[in-house]
Amino acid sequence: MSQRKVCELTIMDITERMLRFTSRDEIAEASGYSDYNTGTRDALNEMRGDMEKLTEEEFVSKYDEISLEKGDELFELDEEAPRAQYLQGYCNTVEDVMSFINPAYIYDQMTMLEEGIEFDEEFEAAFYSGMEHHHHDEEDGDCGCGCGHHHYH
């Protein structure tokens, strides 16, 4: 923590803190989360590099497309597969950062998907069950890792 006023924090400061947190040894190598954390770190490193050179519009456009591509790939995988865990970490991190830029980002994405897809009950249940953030403890919805998100694993 620094002595700066909170209003002086930038998105780069916040994503740097996210990256340091995810890179801590006890977090990075946590049993069952290694692939997830690698996806998180990769997303943060890529996004931080782009934050320095892209405009907001270019950044949002690029990561919208990446998120859709990786999300499509994730949808095709068994959720326990290492690649699926990696993609969950990557995509959730993109969603988090995009939500810093536009708090309505996730809701806008869901609306666009709903407009383009005719949901039947089975697909809708599967789609919305995947909207939990990360890995999920059925009992209380919190993974207990301290991140404050709900997870499924």
- Please check the confidence at residue 24 and state whether its pLDDT lies above 50: yes
Per-residue confidence (pLDDT) for residue 2, from 0 to 100: 78
Mean pLDDT of the chain: 78
Confidence of residue 140 (pLDDT cuts 50, 70, 90): very low
27-36 confidence digits (pLDDT tens): 766 777 889 9
Per-residue confidence (pLDDT) for residue 153, from 0 to 100: 39
Reported pTM: 0.69
Per-residue confidence (pLDDT) for residue 138, from 0 to 100: 45
- Please check the confidence at residue 63 and state whether its pLDDT lies above 90: yes
Helix axes 105-116 and 82-101, enclosed angle (nearest 10)? 120
Per-residue confidence (pLDDT) for residue 139, from 0 to 100: 47
* Residues 134/152, Cβ–Cβ less than 8 Å: yes
- Please check the confidence at residue 23 and state whether its pLDDT lies above 90: no
- pLDDT: which is higher, 54 or 23: 54
- The length of the chain in residues reads 153
